[in-house]
Structure 1
C-alpha cells in the first residue's frame, strides 16, 4: 500500500472520528417526532411509516401524517382512524373517525390480525339493519350518523334472537353482521384500544426509552432519544458538516435498514425453503386473499389460543375447514414450521388432517379439516345432568382412539413425534364423535432409536406435565412423557373434572390419588353409573390411567401396551403400584400442580 493511500485513509478516518457524533445526532432517523405541534408524539413502538425505517418501530405499529397533518393509524382491514391520544405508560391509544361515523367502520374492522385489543373486555356480536323512516321510534339503537336516502341504520345485539318481539323491525333489511366489539362503540365518537406487546410501560415510568433487543426477542430500556424538531436550524456550520457527510449518512441509514430487515428476511427464507421441501406432500397453498374469502372475512370465530385465532371456513359447497390464523406480529415462524412439518407428514384416522396452509409474506395460516363436535373438554367437564352425555361405551372408544393416535405418533411415522401437550382441549371430535389429536405447536421430532430428548426447560400445560419434564431428577424426557399426559386425560374422563380441582372435597383434591385409594381398598368407583357394564369400563379406564401416571418413566407402559390394555378384558388388569410416592403425609407432585395449576409454559429451545 502506498504512502498516499495510507495518508488518505488516515485523513478520512480522523475526519469521520471528529464529526461522526455530530453526524449521527443530526441524522438519527429513530428520534421522537410528530405530525403537528400539540399532536400525539410518535416514538417506539410506533413509527412514522413514510419517514422512518422499519427498525424504528414494532410490526403493526405504523402511523403516518395525512394532508391535514393529522396522525393516522391503519387497522385491518383498511380501517383508517385519526389518533387523538397515545398513553405510552398504560399502553392505550384513543382514536376517532375523521368522517364522523365510527360505526360504519365496524363493517370492515377485524383486530384478529392486529396487535391492538379493545380496552373494554365485554364484547358482543351485532347486526346492522337498514330501516325506513317509520321505525325511527327506536332511538336507543339508532346509529348516530346521517341518514342515507331517507333510511336509517340500526344496531341490534345478536344475542336477541327474536328481533321482531323485542324491536319494531318491520320494513327493515339485515345488511351486515358485526364482529365482536364493545357495544357502546356504536354510540361513542372515540375508539379506545390497548396493546400488550411489546411491553414498554415500565420504561416509560422510569423516564426511559423502550427499544428492541438486538436479537428482536424482547425489549430493553435506554436513555431518552433526542427530540426531532422540524424547524430549520440556524447553525450553518452544522448544516454544512451534515451536507458534507450526507453520502456517509446515507450508507449508515441503509445499513440500519438492512440490519433490521435481515432477520425477517432470514426467517421468511427459512419458511420458504421448508415449504419447498414439503411440496411432495401436496397440501394446498392458499394466498391470504383466499384465506379471507374462505373464512368470509373472518366472520365466524371458533376459538382463540396463544398462537392464533381459529375461524370456520368454507372450502367448497359441501366441505368446511378450520382456519388457524397465526399471530403475525410476533415470533420467527417456529410454531408454523413445527406444526406444518409435524402434521404435514401424518396420515392417521385419529390425527387431525392438514388441508393446506398460507405463507403470504409474513401472514401465515393453517387450514385443517373441520370437526363439528368441538373438543373432548366440552363433554367431560360439564356440570350436573349434562355430564357424560356420550355414555361410557363411547368414552371407552374415544380413549382407545386417542391411544392409537399417540401410538402412531410414537411408532408409526418415519421419525418419532412427541406431542408434549396431550389434554382434553386438544382432542377434537368428528361428526361420529371419533377423536382426533390436534395442536402440534409444542411437538418435537426425534429418532426412534433415541432414548431421550434434551430440553432446557419444561413445556406443556400444568396438570398434564410428567415429573421428568419438570425436573430431570425423575428421569429423561421421552415418549413416556406423552404416556403420562394421556393417563391424566383418562382419569379426567373418569372423574369428569380437572385432576387437581381445588373446589372438590379435601380428600379428593388430587383426584388420581383418591382413585388409587378407592381401588386399592377394593371399593367400587360409583361415578355416574347407569348400566351394569359401565362399572367394568370405568374401572378399566381408571386402572390404565393409573399405570400411565407412574412417577418414574420406566414404570409406565408404552402406548402399544396401553392400546392392548384398553382393547382387553378389564377384569384381567393388574392393579398398579401407588403412582405418586408420598412423603410426610404430603403428595409432592400434587403440590407442584397446585402451585402452578393455572400456568401455561411457553415453547422452549432444544439442545441436541
Structure 2
C-alpha cells in the first residue's frame, strides 16, 4: 500500500510540475519581469509597465519611441516627462507646465502638486516646500512671500529647515511643492523646481498579490484588483510521512468542476508542504453565515444567494460522487471548507481527509473515524447504525445547510439560554405545526420558498439511517424542483447534540480540524 501511494504521488507530482512550469512560462510571457528598453530610460520593471501590457503594472510609461518619455501618476491628471527610473522604483519627473509658470514668476505656480492615492500605490516628494495659501494676513511670524495672488490670497512659506506648524493656520490651505536643492531663500520662485523625485511605495495588498503569483491591476474607477491570483495552503503539521498531503493531491488532481476548487500545483521541502490553489476572492462560507461574524455585516447574503450556494455545493458533491473516473468521498464538508468566488459561486476545498474508491463501490472500509464534530455522520463513529459510504457526505451537507439557514451553529444555545435548543429539532417542530419559520432576512414569498426547500432537503440529508438519505443527485433534483412535491421526512432521532461527557468521548476518537 505504501508503494502504491508513493507511485501515485510520484506520477501526479511530475504531471503537476510540468503543468505549473507551462503555466508559469505563459504568465512570464504575458508579464515579463523586465520590459524592453524604452528610449533613454533603458529597462524598467513593476510597478511601471508599457502600453502593450497595461495589465502588468500600475503606471504606464508612454512615448518610448520619442525623445522624451512620459507617464501619468493616476488614471487622470497631467502627464509628466520622465527623466529617470531608479532601481528602488523612485522616479524623477519634470512638469513642463509648472516650469513655464515658474519662469514667468506667475502666481499660478502656487497650485498644489496633487499626488494620487490608491489602494496599490502611494507617492512622496523626496524634497518639498510647504506653503500656505491664506485669505487673510497671518499674525504668526512665518517667512512670507510679500505678494498677493489675484488680489484674493496671501502666500506664506515655512523655512525649509523648520518643522511645519502642528495646526494649520486659520483660513489657510496647505500646498506642497518640490524644492530646488540649490535654493535661494530670498526668492520663492527660485526655491521651487519643476524637476522633482518621487518615492513610489507599493502597498502591502499589492505585494502580497504578486507574492501569490497574481497581477496588481486597477479597474476603471481606480480600485485595486488582484488578477490571476493563486491561493497557498501550507501543511506545516502533516501527519506521518505526508499521507494527508498525498491524499489531497491525489484526490483533487482528478477533478475539474466549477464547484470544486482547482489545484494548480504544489511544492514540498522536508516536512513542509504547500498546495497551490486557484484564488477564490471571498474566502470561506463561514464568514458570511454566522450572525456573530464581522464579514456578514459587510455583505449580508440574500436568501436567493444562499439557495444558489446550496445548489452549487450539491452539484459539486454530485460530481465528486459520480462525475469522476473514481468516486471521491470528501468526509469534511463544512462551511470552512466551502470557498466563494467574486460572484459567490461555491467551490469545495480541502481534500485532506478524502477517500478515493471505485465508482461501483458503495461501502468504505475505515480504520478510524474522520471528519469534524458537528458534521460527522453517526455511522462514522458508531458502526452499528450503518455502513460508511458516500451517504456520509450527504449527512455533512445537510448539517451545513442547516447552519446556513439558521445563521448559527446547530448546537448553539437558544435565546432563552437553554441547552436543549437544537436548531434541526426546533425547526422540525415548526414544519410539523406549519408555523412560520422565524428565520432572519425573509422578505417575500420567494424567500420563504428558498428557506423551506433548504430545510426540508436538510432534514432528509441528516436521516440517521444512511439508506434513508438521498443521493446528491436526488438532492439537486429536490432543490431545483417544486416545493409542493417535497414531503417532510421522519424526524431524525439521533441528531441532537451529545452530552458533555459523550461529546468529549467522541472528540477523543475523531479527527477535529
Q: Which TM-score band applies after superposition, normalised by the shorter structure?
A: 0.5 to 0.7
C-alpha distance in 2 between matches for 1:593 and 1:499: 19
Q: Would you say the 8 A contact 1:536–1:571 is kept in 2? A: no
Specify whether residues 395 and 421 from structure 1 end up closer, same or farther in structure 2 by C-alpha distance, changes over 3 A only. same
1:276 partnered with 2:276: no
Matches within 5 A, 1:414-429: 414-429=325-340
Change (3 A) 1:278 1:413: farther
Contact 1:405 1:436 in 2 (8 A): yes
Taking a change above 3 Å as real, the CA distance of residues 270 and 410 of structure 1, as seen in their structure-2 partners, is: closer
Aligned residues: 316
TM-score (norm 1): 0.47
Distance 1:279 1:509, change over 3 A: same
SS state of the match for residue 372, structure 1?
A: coil
Tell me which residue corresponds to 2:314.
403
1:314 corresponds to which of 206, 213, 216: 213
Report if aligned partners of 1:460, 1:600 keep a CA contact under 8 Å in 2. Answer: no
1:369 aligns with 2:104: no
Q: SS of 1:375's equivalent? A: coil
Query: Is the contact between residue 420 and residue 443 of structure 1 (CA under 8 Å) also seen in structure 2?
Result: yes
Q: State how far apart, in whole Å, the 1-side matches of 2:508 and 2:282 are.
A: 25
Tell me how far apart the structure 1 counterparts of residues 478 and 401 of structure 2 sit (CA, whole Å). Answer: 13
SS in structure 1 opposite 2:212? Answer: strand
| 1:467 paired residue among 360, 370, 378 | 378
Determine if contact 2:282/2:339 at 8 Å carries over to the other structure.
yes
DSSP 3-state at the match of 1:460 = coil
CA distance in 2: counterparts of 1:546 and 1:574, whole angstroms: 10
Take 2:297 and 2:507, find their aligned partners in 1: how far apart are those partners? 28
What does residue 543 of structure 1 align with?
456
Query: How far apart are 1:511 and its partner, in Å?
Result: 1.0
* Kept in 2: contact 1:487–1:545 (CA 8 A): yes
SS in 2 for 1:332: coil
**1:323 alignment partner in structure 2:** 232
For residues 3-152 of structure 1, the aligned pairs below 5 Å read none
Q: 1:377 to 1:598 in 2, by over 3 A?
A: farther
Rate the CA distance shift 1:278–1:336 in 2: closer, same or farther, 3 A: same
Change (3 A) 1:316 1:518: same
Distance in 2, Cα, partners of 1:566 & 1:477? 25
Structure 1 pair 328–498 and aligned structure 2 pair: CA distance change class (3 A): closer
* 1:404 Cα deviation from its structure 2 partner: 0.2
Q: Is the 8 A contact 2:212 2:232 kept in 1?
A: yes
Deviates more, 1:475-484 or 1:500-509: 500-509
User: Could you list the runs of 5+ residues in structure 2 that have no partner in the other structure?
Assistant: 23-32, 34-203, 217-226
For 2:429, which of 517, 525, 531 is the aligned residue?
Answer: 517
Equivalent residue, structure 1, for 2:492? 579
TM-score (norm 2): 0.56
Q: 1:388 touches 1:496 (CA, 8 Å); kept in 2?
A: no
2:468 aligned partner: 555
Q: Name the CA distance, whole Å, in 1 between partners of 2:505 and 2:484.
A: 34
CA distance in 2, matches of 1:267, 1:456: 16
Question: Are 1:380 and 2:289 an aligned pair?
Answer: yes
Segments of structure 1 that go 5 or more residues without pairing to the other structure are 1-265, 287-292, 294-298, 301-310, 582-586
Judged with a 3 Å threshold, the aligned counterparts in structure 2 of structure 1 residues 399 and 328 are, in CA distance, closer, same or farther, namely closer
Once the two structures are TM-superposed, the CA of residue 364 in structure 1 deviates from its matched residue by 2.1
User: Is this contact kept in 2: 1:427–1:437, CA < 8 A?
Assistant: yes
Q: Quickly say closer, same or farther: Cα 1:481–1:593, change in 2 above 3 A.
A: farther
Structure with higher Rg: it is 2
Tell me: CA distance 1:427–1:479, structure 2 relative to 1, closer, same or farther (3 Å): same
Q: Distance in 1 between matches of 2:239 and 2:327?
A: 29
Name the CA distance, whole Å, in 2 between partners of 1:536 and 1:315: 40
Rounded to whole Å, the distance in 2 between the matches of 1:480 and 1:366 is 28
Query: Hey, what's the Cα distance between the residues in 2 that align with 1:598 and 1:503?
Result: 23
Within the candidate set 305, 322, 325, 1:394 is matched to 305
Cα distance change of structure 1 residues 600 and 425 upon mapping to structure 2, 3 Å threshold: farther
Cα 1:562–1:367, aligned 2, differ >3 Å: closer, same or farther?
A: same
How many angstroms apart in 1 are the aligned matches of 2:270 and 2:7? 10
Report the equivalent of 2:503.
595
Deviation digits for residues 376-427 of structure 1, max 9, x if unmatched?
1000013398398110001000000000000000000111111000000100
- Runs in 1 of length 4+ with deviation above 6 angstroms? 266-270
| Aligned-partner Cα distance in 1 for 2:402–2:341 | 22
Moved more, 366-375 or 319-328: 319-328
Name the residue aligned to 2:481.
568
Q: Superposition RMSD on alpha carbons, in Å?
A: 3.5
CA-to-partner distance for each residue in 1:157-208, whole Å, 9 max, x for gaps? Answer: xxxxxxxxxxxxxxxxxxxxxxxxxxxxxxxxxxxxxxxxxxxxxxxxxxxx
Question: What displacement does 1:571 show?
Answer: 2.8
SS at match of 1:421: coil
Q: Using the alignment, how far apart are the partners of 1:371 and 1:488 within structure 2?
A: 24
Higher relative contact order (CA 8 A, sep 6+): 2
Q: Is the 8 A contact 2:238 2:245 kept in 1?
A: no
Cα distance 1:363–1:268, how it changes in 2: closer, same or farther (>3 A)? Answer: farther
CA gap of 1:387–1:562, structure 2 versus 1, over 3 A, is farther
Aligned equivalents of 1:276, 1:574: Cα separation in 2? 48
Deviation at 1:360, TM superposition (A): 3.9
Whole-angstrom CA distance in 2 between matches of 1:597 and 1:545: 26
Q: Deviations for 1:114-156, whole angstroms, at most 9, x for unmatched residues? A: xxxxxxxxxxxxxxxxxxxxxxxxxxxxxxxxxxxxxxxxxxx
Helix, strand or coil at the partner of 1:436: strand
